[in-house]
Amino acid sequence: MAIFCRTFSYLTINLITSVPRKLRDDMRHGQPRTIARRGEIRRYSRSTVTQLFISPHPFAAVDKSAFQLLEAAGVPFLSNRLGKKLTEQEVAESVDGAEVLIAGTEPLTEQLFKECPNLRLIVRLGIGLDNVDFEAARARGIRVAYTPDAPSKAVVELTLALMLNLLRGVSLANGEIHGGRWNRRMGRRIEEVTVGLVGVGRIGSGVLALLQAFGCRRILAHDIRPNRALDAAFRFEWVDKMALLEQADIVSLHVPLTSRTRGYLRRSELLAMKRDALLINTARGGVVDESDLFSVLQEGHLEGVALDVFEHEPYSGPLASVERCLMTAHMGSMSVDCRARMEREAVQEALRFLRGEPLLNEVTSGEP
């Protein structure tokens, strides 16, 4: 018993002293006796106390299987316990010599890489890569991977939920009743409107499938790389960008944020949409110019907007004052099953790297 207590105290002291002072009380840590590292087993030592840092919050909040995978593999790790999205500096301080970072949407730039010389792998929890300076990472020999399939179904369902909400004015009616007003709103059915999908990849094609199941009679699609395999499976029309904006009653965005899609919808494109059109963005905030969107809404253009993503998060800008702008807190992937799958896949990719095995979802280009 005395031997066990001395061993436990030694491990605990090592872990505590390896964490930046201001974060120590807010981090969760693994305390295995050995470290699985690129196919070999190394004794637990002070210089390798933290092999992996988990930045996103929440992580394993409901399903603990991702933590269990790390503990079973004997990989010492720390995770974000500040209860918020970390700043770049907080990430740099927290990585603390780790080789692997499981990252969220916080900025990962050249400056962070300079401060984390031991970092060798970033696993992005989710599908977007716009927050990663890919060229800077590659220049420093840092590999990048992600979990592109796991969140798709959850984002697809949230997109459809936002469409139905806007079409029937559900959130507006709820607010009116809570405010003491009884207003029986006249809405539209999804079967009767034209839906335009900008981007028909994993998520866009999933939305396409649900729209067809709901009986939507006319679906327009635009993609810089049209997937012609979809033509045989679904009823829809490929059109150019402006035709989609001008004809669709609902425009739903499903593109990554790249140099080509940043500011994809500005004032001129927004005004090209029907005056009573609906806009949904569950992709990335920078795809829509938020200042232009606010201006257009203030002028009475567009019947409704639903945003799950914003250029700066948490969002606190002027769009929050627009009643017909429905806003959610970047929760597209936040279903229990999809979130747990994302977390497990990120951990599994990290473990493959540490064992010297091939990565399954390595990113080879900064702009998909």
Q: Which runs of consecutive H residues, i.e. helices, occur in 299-355?
A: 336-354
| Residue 365: strand, helix, or coil | coil
Q: Is 29 designated active site?
A: no
The DSSP secondary-structure symbol of 169 reads T
- Residues 35, 97 contacting (CB under 8 angstroms): no
C-alpha–C-alpha distance, residues 255 and 266, integer Å: 15
Active-site residue, selected from the candidate residues 120, 124, 222, 284 = 284
> Whole-angstrom Cα distance, residue 270 to residue 274?
9
* Antiparallel, parallel or unpaired: β 194-198 and 250-253: parallel
Q: Which of 29, 143, 254, 330 is catalytic?
A: 330
Do residues 244 and 195 touch, judged by C-beta distance below 8 A?
A: no
Q: Is 222 a catalytic residue?
A: no
Amino acid making up residue 287: V
Helix (H, G, I), strand (E, B) or coil at 177: helix
Q: How far apart are CA 11 and CA 31, in angstroms?
A: 7
Whether residue 256 contacts residue 284, with contact meaning beta carbons closer than 8 Å, is answered with yes
- In which element (H, E) is residue 6 found? helix 2-17
User: For residues 198 and 239, is the Cβ–Cβ distance under 8 A?
Assistant: no
The rounded distance, in Å, linking the Cα atoms of 121 and 142 is 5
Rounded Cα–Cα distance for residues 79 and 60 (Å): 10
185 catalytic? Reply is no
How many angstroms separate the Cα of 148 from the Cα of each of 18, 165, 320, 339? Answer: 32, 27, 30, 12
Q: What is the distance between the alpha carbons of residues 197 and 155, in angstroms, rounded to a whole number?
A: 14
331 Ramachandran zone, left/alpha/beta (phi>0; psi -120 to 50):
alpha
The answer for residues whose C-beta is within 8 angstroms of residue 173's C-beta and 6 or more apart is 183, 185
Query: Does residue 103 sit in helix, strand or coil?
Result: strand
Which position among 313, 323, 357, 367 bears the catalytic label?
313
Q: Kindly list the catalytic residues.
A: 284, 313, 330
